[in-house]
Homo-oligomer: A and B are copies of this chain.
Amino acid sequence: MKPQAPHCQSCQFKDSSLFKQCHLHELEELNESKCFNSYKKGQVIFHEGNRPLGIFCVYSGKVKVSRMGSDGKEQIIRLAKKGDTLGYRSLIDNTKYTASAIALDETEVCFIPAAEFNKLVDENVKVSTDLMKMLARALGDTQDKLIHLAMKPVRERLAEALLLLKSTYQEEGKNPFSISISREDLSSIVGTAKETVIRFLSEFKEDGIITTHGSEITILNPEKLVKISSMYD
């Protein structure tokens, strides 16, 4: 039997999530309206083109947010981890999802219906202020990605992507950092072909920066990756 999500009032993320500034009675109501779900690796949490019906809070696992090109090529826009909020942009902008969210691991997510989310945002200024800052930060991050995609060659972007994975998913005290990720997904983060990613990974291996065992990548020397990623900054 899988562990169910705890009550919102005792959630691991109650002091760090978007709802960290909620009152107890708000958390109580949130808890009543939320809906807990599990997703296996590869399962779709929400799909490009659909109408958003609420937002998602990741409780455990890893999620990619990505868009599919007509040629079947995928571009990953964001990586989400436990504690992160998903799908809020479309809801606020009142548009269909422009990207899909897909579990990269066994992932647990709470769904919060639009009505409840909107109520909370309307009634609690602190929540709406935090939401605004979250949007501003996301915009800044996306602009950074845009700039790097435009200005940096693949080798540097790959180094950066590995550092992003590390900074996003490294658990406290787990050193060195390891992650299991397909070369396909990695290439969709970097914005290049998977063969190109593989070639540069081989180079990084030769330089002792990483090691791999199957799809598992271990980062031995993050400092070198920092150097590579900011070669021309």
Min distance, Cβ A111 to any Cβ of chain B, angstroms: 20
Specify which chain B residues have a CB less than 8 angstroms from the CB of A67 in the assembled complex.
143, 147
**Interface pair A92/B136, CB less than 8 Å apart:** yes
Instruction: Check A191 for interface membership: any CB of B closer than 8 A.
Output: yes
**Interface pair B70/A232, CB less than 8 Å apart:** yes
Most chain B Cβ neighbours within 10 Å, of A73, A129, A136, A137: A136
Specify which chain B residues have a CB less than 8 angstroms from the CB of A89 in the assembled complex.
136, 139-140
**Interface pair B77/A136, CB less than 8 Å apart:** no
**Interface pair B93/A146, CB less than 8 Å apart:** no
Interface of A is mostly: helix
Write the chain B residue with the least CB distance to A192.
Answer: B150
Q: Which of A104-153 contact B (CB under 8 A)?
A: 122, 125, 128-129, 131-133, 135-140, 142-147, 149-151
Instruction: Check A98 for interface membership: any CB of B closer than 8 A.
Output: yes
Specify which chain B residues have a CB less than 8 angstroms from the CB of A149 in the assembled complex.
146, 149-150, 191
Specify which chain B residues have a CB less than 8 angstroms from the CB of A122 in the assembled complex.
125
Write the chain B residue with the least CB distance to A191.
Answer: B150
Specify which chain B residues have a CB less than 8 angstroms from the CB of A146 in the assembled complex.
75, 77, 142, 145-146, 149
What are 14 A-to-B residue pairs whose CB atoms are below 8 Å?
A: A67-B143, A67-B147, A75-B151, A77-B143, A77-B146, A90-B140, A98-B143, A98-B144, A128-B128, A132-B132, A138-B139, A142-B146, A149-B150, A149-B191
- A sample of 14 more A-B contacts (CB under 8 A), given A132-B132, A149-B149, is A89-B136, A90-B140, A92-B136, A93-B137, A95-B140, A98-B140, A98-B143, A128-B128, A128-B132, A135-B139, A142-B146, A145-B146, A146-B146, A149-B150
